[in-house]
Amino acid sequence: MFFGTRQDEHASFELLDRFVDGGGTMIDTANNYAFWEDPTGRGGAAETVLGAWFAARPGVRDRVYLSTKMGAEPRVPGGYPVNREGLSATVIKEAIQGSLERLRTDRVDLYWAHMEDRSVPVDETVGAFGELAASGVVGRLGASNHATWRVEQARAAARSLGVAGYTALQLRHSYVVPRPGVLVHGHRFGSVSDETLDYAASEHLDIWAYTTLIEGAYVRADRPLPEGYDHPGTTRRLAALNEVASELGATRNQVVLAWLIGGSPAITPIVRVSTAAQLDEALAGARLTLTDEQRARMDAAD
Amino acid sequence: MYFGTRTDERTSVEILDRFVDAGGTMIDTSDNYSFWSDPSGFGGQSEAVIGRWLAARPGMRDRVYLSTKVGAQPVVPGGYPDNLEGLSAATIKNAVQRSLGQLGTDHLDLYWAHVEDRSVPVEETMDAFGSLIADGVVGRIGCSNWPTWRVEQARHAARGRPGFTILQLMHSYLQPRPSAPVAFQSQRFGWLTDETLDYATTVGLDIWVYSPLLKGGYVHRDRLTDAYDHVGNTRRLAVLDLVAAELETTRNQVVLAWLVGGEAPITPMVGCSSVAQLDEALAGVRLTLNAEQRARMDAAV
């Protein structure tokens, strides 16, 4: 999310207004967005813009489901990823206060651990998040970019401590996937796997997916898929995607969003947009429904 | 392992003798080998051959590390994979006695849950396995074809008792495309993944891998199904051939050396149907890649 960095406050407000006017309800940010675009080397700009927007639009905060993340903010400019704030109890308590102040709200609906922090005992992290949930400052908890076995370990720790545990997972996912062994982003355990789907379905966790539209690769000739996606399965999936898109008179992006949302388990796609046209396309995609036959065809391409 | 089915008893015994003569020590079987190759529709032939071999070689039982598995024996002929014995406490208690009887021994060095059984509470399964360890009937326990989150759940449930300390999954140097079906892998969570490696190295579990030579696929390309067709594998085969030429050895041996010498503690399991295959495999696990060769092999994706 580039609110306050690539997009100035005016452009950001326009997108946000259009989003809620178009029926959108869920906004996901992070306390470190977007440190890599900010001259200060620090995050916080996106939350600050959102806070200003909530302040300028009375009543809107209650109409949206707001989530933010902590744990991956650099401790010092240039510190990411080695020198990031992490998931200690002290940092969690400080981070939520910082986010609430910037967002100008008294609660977030879902609070994410942005990345794992194996230097901190899992009981400490889980206990601190559990306290936030118990106090009502956060509605529920989720884990992003965590290996499934680490999520299970944290959930078991939460059960033992008698506190709320993670009930949502946030990972990268889309219709086409890279070849085995190819890491297309910086998180070793940051992608949805078949194990993720099984875990979420079995334990009733929600899955939110990021980079669902692969930086525009489905629709923009100037943004080809990264080389790691090159394999016959991708070719077959793109062919199926083209077929279904033309049957529905929809864009490839829209079919990908519909495929994610209507699957089993259902996946909540997160879409980052920088123009009104992209926003409108995504909102329409999220409302699109595939027939069983179309979904089966898309699933079978591998 | 086709001892007593596709591989007749005489050949099986030849392979076993040569294996131990050449310094081999670990023998892994299952109560359901090889139901799919036997007219009865049930397994057990493999354990029976090994049991007769052990009986005919006094002192041999103490020289080998013996493991077998429970959970995936069909309850009725044709019952696989939906109608299996599973992992209830009663099944585990009965199955271990049957395996001990077939193998003619009073203990197993390692006992595997062959597949998952989500119809049984994991506490029940772990209690049953834990009792076998407490009674000295089995030395340690492992699980095969389980996703990491279920292993973690089982290890948590076993707290206070010994839990699984070893995983058995399919792995090799070549990897199939994501979600493409592979004819010789029917287990959804039977694959070793990067997450498996992380889990095993982090919490200290051993890993055994099955079908490391892809059922002969490195030698007979026609045995590699369409799922293995992608540019990552093309690159890997090219590097594999280069390294094999440098070491004047076979593809199979380089694959075994790559598995054995990696960062994670991987033990490849090779199913042999001839003495020649056995000799090749034994030489392969004794081969060492240099760091540069390994790095080149790892970098091809």
- Contact state of A181 with B175 under an 8 Å Cβ cutoff: yes
Kindly report the backbone phi and psi dihedral angles of residue B26, in degrees, each rounded to the nearest multiple of 5, phi listed first: -105, 125
A124 within domain boundaries: yes
Q: Which two tokens stand for residue A198?
A: 């099984």
CATH topology of domain B9-170: TIM Barrel (3.20.20)
Residues on chain B touching A180 (C-beta within 8 angstroms): 175-178, 232, 301
Region B68-73 average pLDDT: 98
Percent of chain B at pLDDT > 70 equals 100
What is the structure's pLDDT at A202?
A: 98
Residues on chain A touching B227 (C-beta within 8 angstroms): 302
Nearest by CB: B301 against A181, A198, A302: A181
Per-residue confidence at B174, pLDDT binned at 50, 70, 90?
very high
Count of domains in chain A? 1
What is the structure's pLDDT at B264?
A: 84
pLDDT digits (tens, 9 = 90+) for B244-265: 999 999 999 999 999 999 988 7
Region A209-235 average pLDDT: 96
CA distance B122 to B154: 6
What is the structure's pLDDT at B223?
A: 87
CA distance A91 to A246: 49
Interface test with B, best of A149, A159, A175 (most B CBs within 10 A): A149
Per-residue confidence at B145, pLDDT binned at 50, 70, 90?
very high
Per-residue confidence at B271, pLDDT binned at 50, 70, 90?
confident
What is the structure's pLDDT at B222?
A: 86
Instruction: Say which amino acid occupies B43.
Output: G
Size of interface A-B (CB pairs under 8 A): 94
pLDDT digits (tens, 9 = 90+) for B77-107: 999 999 999 999 999 999 999 999 999 999 9
pLDDT digits (tens, 9 = 90+) for A163-198: 999 999 999 999 999 999 999 888 999 999 999 999
Helix, strand, coil distribution of chain A in percent, nearest 5: 45, 15, 40
A77 within domain boundaries: yes
pTM: 0.96
pLDDT digits (tens, 9 = 90+) for A242-276: 999 999 999 999 999 999 999 999 999 999 999 99
Looking at the DSSP assignment, which residues form a beta bridge with residue A67? A28, A110
What is the structure's pLDDT at B221?
A: 83
What is the structure's pLDDT at B170?
A: 98
CB-CB neighbours of A268 under 10 Å: 16
- Contact state of A230 with B193 under an 8 Å Cβ cutoff: no
What is the structure's pLDDT at A167?
A: 98
* Domain at A93, CATH number: 3.20.20.100
Nearest by CB: B148 against A148, A178, A302: A148
pLDDT digits (tens, 9 = 90+) for A79-137: 999 999 999 999 999 999 999 999 999 999 999 999 999 999 999 999 999 999 999 99
CB-CB neighbours of B81 under 10 Å: 10
Task: Kindly identify which residue of chain A lies nearest to residue B231, measuring between CA atoms.
Answer: A231
Q: Is B198 part of the contact surface with chain A (CB cutoff 8 Å)?
A: yes
Task: Kindly identify which residue of chain A lies nearest to residue B145, measuring between CA atoms.
Answer: A195
User: Quick check: A140 pLDDT over 90?
Assistant: yes
Percent of chain A at pLDDT > 70 equals 100
Q: Is B147 part of the contact surface with chain A (CB cutoff 8 Å)?
A: yes
Bridge-based pairing state of the strands A267-269 and A138-144: unpaired
Per-residue confidence at B150, pLDDT binned at 50, 70, 90?
very high
CA B214 to chain centre: 13
In sequence order, what are the residues at sequence separation of 6 or more whose Cβ sits closer than 8 angstroms to the Cβ of residue A226?
A: A178, A184, A214, A217
**C-alpha distance from B26 to closest chain A C-alpha (Å):** 29
A166 within domain boundaries: yes
A266 within domain boundaries: no
User: Quick check: B160 pLDDT over 90?
Assistant: no
Residues B279 and B237 sit within 8 Å (Cβ to Cβ): no
What is the structure's pLDDT at B11?
A: 94
Residues on chain B touching A156 (C-beta within 8 angstroms): 152-153, 156
Nearest by CB: A195 against B177, B179, B195: B195
**C-alpha distance from A70 to closest chain B C-alpha (Å):** 23
Per-residue confidence at B18, pLDDT binned at 50, 70, 90?
very high
Percent of chain A at pLDDT > 90 equals 98
**C-alpha distance from A16 to closest chain B C-alpha (Å):** 36
Q: Which long-range contacts (CB under 8 A, 24 or more apart) does A211-217 make?
A: A211/A172, A211/A173, A211/A174, A211/A185, A212/A173, A212/A174, A212/A256, A212/A257, A212/A260, A212/A269, A212/A270, A212/A271, A213/A174, A213/A253, A213/A256, A213/A257, A213/A271, A213/A282, A214/A174, A214/A176
**C-alpha distance from B61 to closest chain A C-alpha (Å):** 37
ipTM: 0.95
Sheet (strand A26-28) strand order: A26-28, A65-70, A108-113, A138-144, A166-172, A206-210, A267-269
Q: Which stretches of chain A sit within 8 Å of chain B by CB? A: 118, 147-149, 151-153, 156, 177-182, 188-189, 193-195, 198-199, 202, 228, 230-233, 302
Region A63-76 average pLDDT: 97
User: Quick check: B154 pLDDT over 90?
Assistant: yes
Task: Kindly identify which residue of chain B lies nearest to residue A195, measuring between CA atoms.
Answer: B147
Domain ranges of chain B: 9-170
A275 within domain boundaries: no
Per-residue confidence at B272, pLDDT binned at 50, 70, 90?
confident
- Contact state of B199 with A149 under an 8 Å Cβ cutoff: yes
A51 within domain boundaries: yes
Residues on chain B touching A153 (C-beta within 8 angstroms): 152, 156
- Contact state of B177 with A153 under an 8 Å Cβ cutoff: no
Asked whether the CA dihedral A284, A286, A291, A293 is positive or negative, the reply is positive
User: Quick check: A206 pLDDT over 80?
Assistant: yes
Integer distance in angstroms from the first to the last C-alpha of chain A? 31
What is the structure's pLDDT at A217?
A: 97
Which range marks the domain in which residue A46 is found? 9-172
The mean of the pLDDT values for chain A is 97
Cis peptide before A74 (omega within 30 of 0): no
What is the structure's pLDDT at B111?
A: 98
Which one, of B149, B146, B91, lies nearest residue B114 by Cα? Answer: B146
The mean of the pLDDT values for chain B is 95
- Contact state of A195 with B179 under an 8 Å Cβ cutoff: no
Residues on chain B touching A179 (C-beta within 8 angstroms): 175, 177-178, 230-232, 301
Residue with the bigger pLDDT between B273 and A181: it is A181
Coil/strand/helix, residue B38? coil
Region B193-209 average pLDDT: 96
Bridge-based pairing state of the strands A138-144 and A166-172: parallel
CA distance B24 to B282: 8
What is the structure's pLDDT at B157?
A: 94
Residues on chain A touching B239 (C-beta within 8 angstroms): none
Bridge-based pairing state of the strands A65-70 and A108-113: parallel
Residues B184 and B215 sit within 8 Å (Cβ to Cβ): yes
In sequence order, what are the residues at sequence separation of 6 or more whose Cβ sits closer than 8 angstroms to the Cβ of residue A176?
A: A214, A225, A229, A233, A234, A237, A238
Region B117-133 average pLDDT: 97
- Contact state of A198 with B188 under an 8 Å Cβ cutoff: yes
